[in-house]
Chains A and B, each alone.
Chain A
Amino acid sequence: MLYTLLCYNKEDVVWSWSKEEDDAVMARLAVVHEKLVKEGKLGPSLRLLPTTAATTVRGPGLVIDGPFAETKEQLLGFYVIDVPDLEGALDVARQLSDANPTSTYEIRPIALYVPEARPNAPREVVKAY
């Protein structure tokens, strides 16, 4: 089974941590990450920049500032894409939105990205049902 673990916290608190506080948390997490790598359990992981840096594409052509924050819909998954700037990201989001018009795509720049760390990780996992 593959699971996605989504980390939630109050971002106004977390992004006010001093460098020392942030470093201390990241150091504690690094210990856990290392353990998970040894156990062959860790896939790609990343930390998002705050929602103030987010842009949302909703339906065809509608680009809005900020995150998608309605509680009626939940985060279903995420892509990691490599594009030069916001326009590039919007272009990809529009293509996805065209293909899947009822979904909403929030674009959040990534603060930290740790690529796949499992040895012999499969290139693609097809859903099992």
Chain B
Amino acid sequence: MTDMAWIHGAITAARPQAVGALLRYFRDMDRAEEAFQEASLRALKNWPQNGPPRDPTNWLILVGRNAALDGVRKDARNGPLPPDDVISDLDDVETPLAERLDDSQYRDDVLRLLFICCHPDLPATQQIALALRIVSGLTVAQIARAFLVSEAAMEQRITRAKQRIARAEVPFEAPGPADRAERLGVVAAMLYLLFNEGYSAGDDPVRAPLCDEAIRLARMLLRLFQTEPEIMGLAALMLLQQARLAARFDVDGEAVLLDDQDRSLWNASAIQEGLALVDKALRHNRPGPYQVQAAIAATHARAATAADTDWAGIDGLYLALERMQPSPVITLNRAVAVAKLHGPQAALDMIAPLEAQLGRYFPYFGARGAFLLQLGRNIEARTAFDRAIALADTPAQAAHIRQHLDRLLQDAG
């Protein structure tokens, strides 16, 4: 009667906590992974017969730990441990162990596991690949497809990353509040990158699910760290962005700008969840970049039509973001709000000083072209759009700018 899909879902959901706890026991990534693998295989055999355990995560940790220790004890001529179907997460014999599996320890286990994947020695793409392999349990083949490289190349990349972190010494005692906050920040940044990998891929069926995985991991972090406003902000930001997925591309796969999107295609449930998290986060009065970005996304989500958008609010939020993280890219984004509020000339004046820094950045010339076009300076707009196309990273970006150019040519003819 047990649904195999539910079992697979439960094993995936338990994976970060279980591998994290096993890593704490064994202090060795490969042994922890093998132990979890063994426990999962036994779960697939055992749960359909006996029903799922009350606490699947505890079951997987105990069985994984026993399976690994069993191997060791056999060598040491010790008696074998009881069979898995006798193990209960409430069993008296296991109580001392189960007690140690309390929530606070889980939190640090999961955080440590994610933090190890985000080791600063590793480039961002390796951090993400490692987290997808170890924390999410994706196969090397799945990750290779998502990053558009061969399976052999990805296998090598992950092996190298693992060797690197094996040499790096990550402390296993419970981190203090300052370490915990730092780890959480590093992990949040990795999840943000993971989400962006999927988001920038648009509606690509292989890469887009990376967004769902990032959201799943963010929700998991939220369950473990319930009072962290930046984690609420990060989760909200992802949910609010992902809510627009169905409206972001037309039937031909061309990008549709926010102003032109059919808002009835936005995912109402994801928006509700995102807005609820923004509200919760703001009550803490501890603003941070993820919360501000989420608040910007929330302002768009709250507007029934593009014309209803509170651009003054968005301008203020970008200003706050600029103060927290001074960056020409943020100023460029703010210019869009300024154009809506004070007209294209004000926006153009605002971005002019950015050209030295953003001279290789495709969106800079896209925005510049759009402002010039609004001012009727078509020849200059065309030059800007040509630059944008030359700098575009993807065919979709180039195609989008070409639409502007085509319109210009039509007007000229």
A residues lining the B interface (CB < 8 Å): 10, 12-18, 21, 49-53, 55, 63-66, 85-87, 109-112
Contacts and interface: CB of A to CB of B under 8 A. Distances in A.
Nearest to B221: A52
B10 A10 contact: yes
B45 to A, nearest CB: 20
A49 B269 contact: yes
A21 B269 contact: no
Interface stretch (B89-97, B169-177, B271-279, B333-341): B271-279
Given A16-B12, A66-B226, A111-B269, A52 B277 contact: yes
Contacts of B6: 13
A51 B273 CA distance: 10
B13 A13 contact: yes
A86 B9 contact: no
Contact of A53 (B9, B212, B276, B283): B276
Contact of B13 (A10, A50, A65, A109): A10
A14 B10 CA distance: 9
A49 B271 CA distance: 11
Contacts of B9: 10, 13-14, 16-17
B342 interface: no
Contacts of A109: 272-273, 275-276
Interface in B203-246: 212, 216, 219-220, 222-223, 226-227, 232, 235
B273 A50 contact: yes
Given A13-B13, A65-B280, A49 B220 contact: no
Contacts of A12: 13, 216, 219-220, 223
A109 B273 CA distance: 7
A52 B222 contact: yes
Contact of A52 (B13, B212, B219, B272): B219
B76 interface: no
A112 B232 CA distance: 22
